[in-house]
Structure 1
Amino acid sequence: MRNFNKEAKIIIENYPYYHENTDPYVVLVSTVLSQRTKDENTDKATKQLFSVFKDVFEISKVNPESLYDLIKPAGMFKQKSERIVKLSKILVNKYNGNVPNDLEKLLELPGVGRKTANIVLYVSFGLNAMAVDTHVHRISNRLGWISTKKPEDSEFALMKIINKDLWGPLNGSMVAFGQKTCRPKKPLCSKCPLNFICPFLKLNKNPE
Structure 2
Amino acid sequence: MREFIVTGGGEIGNAHGTYPFARLTITPFKVQLTISLVGTVIFRPSDTVSIDLHDSFLGIRKGIKIRHKVSGYSDHIIFRPVGNANSLIQHIRDTGFLLNCEPMPETIEQEIASLQSSGSFPIKTSAVVGIVVSWNVLCIPAIIHDAGKHSFFNLPGAMFLPLGLLFLICLCLFFVPLVRRTVLKKHHHFCEIKTGIIFISCIICFLLALLTLLTA
TM-score by length of 1: 0.29
The structure richer in strand per residue is 2
Higher relative contact order (CA 8 A, sep 6+): 1
The structure richer in helix per residue is 1
TM-score by length of 2: 0.28
Larger radius of gyration: 2
